[in-house]
Amino acid sequence: MDVDLRKLRYFVAVAEELHFGRAAVRLHIAQPVLSRQIRALEGELRAQLFRRDRRSTELTAAGLQLLEDARPLLASADALRRRVGTAARGTSAFTVAFMPGITVTGAVRELSARHPGLTVELLRTTWDDQTEVLHDGRADVSVIRLPVDRRGLSVRPLFREPRVAVLPAGHRLAGKESVRVGDLADEHLLNDPDAVPEWRDVAVELREGTAPARRGFRSVEEKLEHVAAGRGIAVVPRSTSEYYTRSDVARVPVEDLPPNEVCLAWVSGRRSRVIFEFAEIFADLAGAGERTR
């Protein structure tokens, strides 16, 4: 049996909204049509995907499994369409994604010099989409910061770098040569606590239950604005703190935090010669950079 990708898209919309009406609006289709498509999918799979009553819609165990498998499948289909569309237009393009603070200029120049007819595009990512851009085809390779979900990816280590605490310029710890995680126990961390488990384990606000409601940040710039305003501190890789230099924040190395690991990633199933060549170029340049630090 072949699974209809359109029905899968309908299913994912309902699974994410857990409401047929909202999902129908999101998909720009009538709700009865959506309900019929979901029933048809359940018939094809011979499994109930949702439990519905007058008050709620919930995923069954089969629905949870399908949602886990459907997202990467749909992302792969999107990636395939993008690559085929590029080939159909007769263009030769290669997109490099990169996280804030990471410089890819040298590797991009070398790849462009070796392939004059290749258009190399650049795409800035965030913690939230640094691997998503690979799965959905927006990027061919992505320079990532661990940790990430490695499923479906080839990951090649490049280098490691220290992490620093970014503080308001007038903070009591600003200007110190270094600090330890314990020195930050009284602070409000603007990172997700799971991203800095060493802080999470000693944090006073988590132990006492006084932590304010957390919010997600769409960019490093937004996070630094909150640091400068005295609303908390952030832990970032050293290169990120150096790239976003500003007078109203200070950076202090944190001695007992493990370094951040920077890697190059791409979709495992791809066998592009240009991907492997770029990986070699970047690894060589990264290695040379480490040796000169």
Instruction: Give me the CATH topology for the region 163-253.
Output: D-Maltodextrin-Binding Protein; domain 2 (3.40.190)
The DSSP symbol for 1 reads -
CA distances from 65 to 22, 48, 50, 149 (A): 22, 12, 12, 17
- Looking at residue 292, its pLDDT comes to 46
CA distances from 148 to 131, 142, 177, 193 (A): 7, 12, 31, 16
Domains 5-77 and 94-157+267-292 share a fold: no
3-class SS of residue 237: strand
**Tokens for 90?**
């007769």
- Looking at residue 217, its pLDDT comes to 83
CA distances from 28 to 20, 42, 49, 92, 219 (A): 12, 21, 22, 34, 30
Query: What is the rounded CA–CA span in Å between residue 267 and residue 279?
Result: 13
- Looking at residue 110, its pLDDT comes to 96
Pairing of β 93-98 and β 119-124: parallel
- Looking at residue 99, its pLDDT comes to 93
| CATH 1.10.10.10 given to domain 5-77 | yes
Helix (H), strand (E) counts: the chain: 11, 10
- Looking at residue 92, its pLDDT comes to 74
Contact criterion met (CB below 8 Å) for 137 and 81? yes
Predicted confidence (pLDDT) per residue in 172-218, tens digit: 999 999 999 999 999 999 998 988 999 999 999 999 999 888 777 87
- Looking at residue 55, its pLDDT comes to 83
**Tokens for 229?**
């305003």
For domain 94-157+267-292, the CATH class is: alpha beta
Q: Which of 293, 291, 237 is nearest to 101 (CA)?
A: 237
Segments in 202-254 forming alpha helices (H) = 204-208, 220-228, 238-243
Low-confidence ranges of the chain (pLDDT < 50): 291-292
Query: What is the rounded CA–CA span in Å between residue 265 and residue 246?
Result: 31
Max CA pair span of the chain:
66
Contact criterion met (CB below 8 Å) for 82 and 137? yes
Domain limits of the chain? Answer: 5-77, 94-157+267-292, 163-253
Q: Which of 77, 83, 105 is nearest to 12 (CA)?
A: 77
Query: What is the rounded CA–CA span in Å between residue 83 and residue 207?
Result: 49
